[in-house]
Amino acid sequence: MKIQARAALILALIIFAGCGTGFRKEPRSFYFPLSGEPNYLNYVPYTSSYEASVIGYLYQSMQQIDYNRGSKLLPGLATNVTLSADKRTYTCYMRRDVTWEDGKPVTAHDVVFTCRMILDPKSGAQNKIAGFKDLAGFKALNDYTFRITFKVPDVTAKYTVAGLTPIPRHIWQGKDMRDKTLNRKPVGNGPFRLQEWKTGRHIILAANPRYRQQPKFYFNRIVYKLIPESAAQQAALRKGLLDAVVNMRAHSWLRMKERYGKGNKFRFFNYSTTAYSQIAWQGNGSNPFFHDYRVRQAMTHALNRPEIIRTLRKGLAVPISGPFYPTSWAYDRSVQPLAFDQQRAAQLLDAAGWKLNSSGLRTDSNGRPFSFEMMLPQGSTTGREIAVILKNALTRLGIRMEIRTLEWSVFNKRLNERDFTACIFSWNSTVDPDVYDLWHSSMRKTGLNLVGYNNPRVDRLLEQAKQAFDRNRRQRISHQIHREIHRDQPYTFLYAAKQLDVFAGRIKGVEPSPRGPFDAWPGLAGWTTAAGE
Amino acid sequence: MGQYLLRRLLVILPTLLGISLVTFIIIHLAPGDPVSLQYGGALSQKHAVTRKHIDRLKQLYHLDEPVLQQYGRWLGRLIRLDFGNSMIDNKPVTEKIFERLPLTLGLNLVSFLLIFAVSIPLGTKAALRRGGWFDRASGTAVFLLYSLPVPWIALMMLIYLGVEWDLLPIVGIMSDHYETLGFTGKLADLTAHAVMPVFCLTYTGLAFVTKLTRISVLETAGQEFIRAARARGLSERSINYRHALKNALIPVITLFGSLLPALISGSVIVERIFSLPGIGQLFFESILYRDYPTIMGLSFFSAVLTLLGILVADLLYAVVDPRISYSGGRA
């Protein structure tokens, strides 16, 4: 017994000693969680959002985008980008004083090399080639001038050009883009460089002494801690290990706000982003229900969306009526969401030929019952609750709905193969409101038009929008698209959930943007810590 | 004995082949594939790409071939002890596994030692006082622990011990400044980080070993050689610990069979909640992203250890129990 007691005492002392080494944040370091290990710190093969957040500080793109000022383009590697009269050719005039970490100059040849690598399927740059769909060619006119030409004028191409982020040709030429050794010691040109990478623990970036461009950063170190579980990230924030946790769930954000909202220990942000949620109705004729727009309208009328926003999202969401995110200039605010109206839903269903039979079920003229399956991705708790609410509402209308939850990869596969009757999910759209891939009839087989939407008027409008270089004209066309799609209800647009972030009280100057706080311009460069900390 | 060992080792080979074939087919039949997941993973509108590009990538990974042909390719590499490279980050699978092995191995080893150190005395004492208050209390206690869900306990510990009372560190297995510490500092740092995860890995395991020990001691206590020992006038203490317990532990050895594979199979829940980069998380992520080479590497590795564990347990029986022998004489 004595020995055990002594052992316990020693253990207690050891633990006490372990706690005694208290952690203090450094004033010029920013501490942020990563939910997964980056695979490639290289602009070409990276795929995940946590890789993007690190890469953004290691490399510079041609131009910077200010999402809070109407996606205005600001100088980056290129001081100036010009567009030809036929609106197909972009010429980028690059700075001559930017160097890679090893001192070699950043040139147009690096950009050419990077574009070639993106187009090579071996590189695994699949998430970047969408912007190169109508590419005609590109070349370096001289060491500091890069020219890229597209086959057709496209108003969104300027963002593809602005986002071009070269990697150093002299390092990567002839190498596999997924080379594990080179990707562990990236050579960049951004405001920070990789200082330390401990697998599974942390990634530390330090200020790059060769970076002399704007914007200047207050922080000289970014510490990324690998914390996969969101509950653990919040615990670490509360314990004082982190400076921010972004994209929290509504209930945890509210609980934290309730507790700390009054003090200055934490700052709370909630704001609209580019993401929105919807129920997609498969209207390609593979089922007898949803090819009729009256049936889809009935579905929207049957669902009490204001109640869903109030209870499930705790009011932290904005109702939407069409295919753009609500703060976009493309979104037509004059279009009100269809009202919650069970009677109207019943009338529409009657008109569409789905009549109540003697046993209280809706059938068509052949006696086929209205009974379908709602598909959900696993882990979407709100989606599940919405499905239950809809199921109850539809039961009252004489419609049977089964809910089926699928593992994410299976859900994704069935979505891509258009193998569903109805499903609930969210889009995270681009800031530029180009919805061609979602709604043009040519995108029904391979694009993102998952519900077989086919409206010749919308097709024509989408084609016009792509070539409308005048913002006002493009806005008018977008509003027309909004109204057409609202009438057809290919989706029941649910809401745009707000992004919920918490920052440590010491961080000052944070400004959110539709792409989150880090992509707001100047983002991290505009933040400081409270003096004296 | 040598011949027996050789025979057993020869049986292991076809068994492994069968296990790996079945695993390979199952994971390839599961819906979803790594290439399409990389494309549509985020369901972002930026990901609109042509099918042609996906098909070319599938060719690159030989995912367009029949499953059996792909299996042959995998087997061919295995003969050269090459498990291939991960489809997620292109690292060799063996490197990925060994990088994460020490953490999982260390935590599990400590937790196993604790389980045995607590459960065997507990089970023995309970058996010797069968029906008494200690027996009932310890039985209730271990079952109570067994029924507490790990995710809940882990989160409660994280929030109360980690944040509210600020007693223990919550992220990872070492502090940021670990490398700058002296030896005792490092030990203290590791111990403080390990307390919560080890507790979570340990407390559910107590019930099984305690109950197994208890039943086995009770069974042995009723046997004739114990009565003979008592008739010879040996002290109760000597009977219980020298004779009864020694024989009672034989069934516990069976557990060693499962010990080897269990040592490397990390707990996904504990590892995620305490941000520990162990095997459990690796397995979880590789399945999520359908990273075939890593899934195969991990399953093969644990299959080898399972078969070896069974073999070791069989050999240990012969060591502790003279009635069991693997020499050629007996059929």
**pLDDT tens per residue across span A187-213:** 999 999 999 999 889 999 999 999 988
Provide DSSP, A203-260: EEEEE-TT---SSP-S-SEEEEEE---HHHHHHHHHTTS-SEE-S--HHHHHHHHHHH
> Across the interface, do B53 and A129 touch by the CB < 8 Å criterion?
yes
Question: A17-59: per-residue pLDDT in tens?
Answer: 545 446 788 889 999 999 988 888 999 988 888 888 899 999 9
Residue A20: the pLDDT is 44
Give residues 216 to 255 of B whose Cβ lies within 8 Å of A: none
Can you say how many angstroms the Cα of residue A189 is from the centroid of all Cα atoms in its chain?
25
- Give A106's pLDDT tier (boundaries 50, 70, 90): very high
Query: A400, A399, A405, A411: which is closest to A384 by C-alpha?
Result: A405
- Give B65's pLDDT tier (boundaries 50, 70, 90): confident
Residue B43: the pLDDT is 46
Which of B35, B44, B61 to probe by mutation at the A interface, max A CB count within 10 Å? B44
> Across the interface, do A227 and B285 touch by the CB < 8 Å criterion?
no
Among A246-260, A406-420, B235-249, the least confident range = B235-249
> Across the interface, do B47 and A127 touch by the CB < 8 Å criterion?
yes
- In 3-state terms, what secondary structure has residue A22? coil
Residue B48: the pLDDT is 47
Residue A386, both tokens: 């919405």
Chain B residues close to A19, C-beta within 8 Å: 166-169, 192
Q: Indicate if the pLDDT at residue A164 is higher than 70.
A: yes
ipTM > 0.90, yes or no: no
Contact, A242 vs A233, CB < 8 A?
A: yes
Residue B68: the pLDDT is 86
Contact, A53 vs A518, CB < 8 A?
A: yes
Contact, B213 vs B248, CB < 8 A?
A: yes
**Nearest CA of chain B to the CA of A241: how many Å?**
9
Residue B233, both tokens: 């006038």
Q: Does B189 touch chain A (CB under 8 A)?
A: yes
Residue A120: the pLDDT is 87
Residue A380 zone, left/alpha/beta (φ > 0; ψ -120 to 50; rest) = beta
Chain mean pLDDT for chain A: 91
Contact, A300 vs A478, CB < 8 A?
A: no
Give buried/exposed letters for A249-269 (b at 16+ CB in 10 A, else e): ebebbbebbeebeeeeebbeb
Residue A288 preceded by cis peptide, ω within 30: no
Query: A502, A507, A514, A53: which is closest to A248 by C-alpha?
Result: A502
Return the higher-pLDDT residue of A115 and B213. Answer: A115
Q: Does A29 touch chain B (CB under 8 A)?
A: no
Give residues 257 to 276 of B whose Cβ lies within 8 Å of A: 272-276
- Give A12's pLDDT tier (boundaries 50, 70, 90): low
pLDDT, mean of residues B271-279:
92
Query: B311, B218, B297: which is closest to B264 by C-alpha?
Result: B297
Q: What are phi and psi of B249, to 5 degrees?
A: -80, -10
> Across the interface, do A228 and B60 touch by the CB < 8 Å criterion?
no
Residue A7: the pLDDT is 59
Contact, A144 vs A93, CB < 8 A?
A: yes
3-state secondary structure A431-468: CCCCCHHHHCHHHCCCCCCCCCCCCHHHHHHHHHHHCC
- Give B331's pLDDT tier (boundaries 50, 70, 90): very low
Q: Indicate if the pLDDT at residue B127 is higher than 50.
A: yes
Q: Indicate if the pLDDT at residue A10 is higher than 50.
A: yes
Sheet holding A499-504, edge to edge: A244-245, A499-504, A266-271
pLDDT, mean of residues A333-337:
95
Residue B47: the pLDDT is 45
Residue A532: the pLDDT is 45
Q: Does A127 touch chain B (CB under 8 A)?
A: yes
Cβ neighbours, 10 Å, residue B178: 17
Residue B77: the pLDDT is 86
Q: Looking at the DSSP assignment, which residues form a beta bridge with residue A270? A: A500
Q: Find the residue in B nearest to A225 (Cα).
A: B171
Query: A67, A218, A213: which is closest to A527 by C-alpha?
Result: A218
Question: A114-155: per-residue pLDDT in tens?
Answer: 999 998 888 877 778 778 888 999 999 999 999 999 999 999
pLDDT, mean of residues A483-502:
96
- Report the residue from A39, A228, A235 with minimal CB separation from B281: A228
Q: Does B11 touch chain A (CB under 8 A)?
A: no
Q: Indicate if the pLDDT at residue B44 is higher than 50.
A: no
Q: From CA A373, how far away is CA A79, in angstroms rounded?
A: 54
pLDDT, mean of residues A380-405:
94
Residue B51: the pLDDT is 62
Which of B33, B38, B45 to probe by mutation at the A interface, max A CB count within 10 Å? B45
Q: Indicate if the pLDDT at residue B116 is higher than 80.
A: yes
Residue B41: the pLDDT is 44
Residue B53: the pLDDT is 67
> Across the interface, do A428 and B193 touch by the CB < 8 Å criterion?
no
Q: Does B287 touch chain A (CB under 8 A)?
A: no
pLDDT, mean of residues B14-42:
78
pLDDT, mean of residues B141-146:
91
Which amino acid is present at A79?
A: T
- Give A284's pLDDT tier (boundaries 50, 70, 90): very high
pLDDT, mean of residues B42-64:
63
Residue A32: the pLDDT is 96
Give buried/exposed letters for A455-477 (b at 16+ CB in 10 A, else e): beebbebbeebbebeeeeebbeb
Contact, B193 vs B271, CB < 8 A?
A: no
- In 3-state terms, what secondary structure has residue A517? coil
Q: Does A36 touch chain B (CB under 8 A)?
A: yes
Q: From CA B275, how far away is CA A201, in angstroms rounded?
A: 8
Question: A215-251: per-residue pLDDT in tens?
Answer: 899 999 999 999 999 999 999 999 999 999 999 999 9
Cβ-in-10-Å burial (0-12, 13-18, 19+) of A334 comes to: exposed
pLDDT, mean of residues B132-160:
92
Q: Indicate if the pLDDT at residue B7 is higher than 90.
A: no
- Give B226's pLDDT tier (boundaries 50, 70, 90): confident
- A134 Cβ neighbours under 8 A, 6+ residues apart: A150, A151, A152, A154, A157
Chain mean pLDDT for chain B: 83
Chain B residues close to A416, C-beta within 8 Å: 36, 40
Residue A4: the pLDDT is 58
Which of B49, B118, B122 to probe by mutation at the A interface, max A CB count within 10 Å? B49
Q: Find the residue in A nearest to B152 (Cα).
A: A231
Q: Does B290 touch chain A (CB under 8 A)?
A: yes
- Give A324's pLDDT tier (boundaries 50, 70, 90): very high
Give residues 426 to 465 of A whose Cβ lies within 8 Å of B: 426-430, 435, 437-438, 443, 446-448
Among A13-17, A67-71, B125-129, the least confident range = A13-17
Chain A residues close to B103, C-beta within 8 Å: 200
- In 3-state terms, what secondary structure has residue B161? helix
pLDDT, mean of residues B94-118:
90
Contact, A34 vs A227, CB < 8 A?
A: yes
Q: Indicate if the pLDDT at residue B42 is higher than 50.
A: no
Q: Indicate if the pLDDT at residue A445 is higher than 90.
A: no
Which amino acid is present at B277?
A: P
Q: Indicate if the pLDDT at residue B114 is higher than 60.
A: yes
Predicted TM-score (pTM) above 0.90: no
Return the higher-pLDDT residue of B293 and B252. Answer: B293
Q: How many residues does chain B have?
A: 331
Q: From CA A30, how far away is CA A317, in angstroms rounded?
A: 29
Q: Indicate if the pLDDT at residue A381 is higher than 90.
A: no
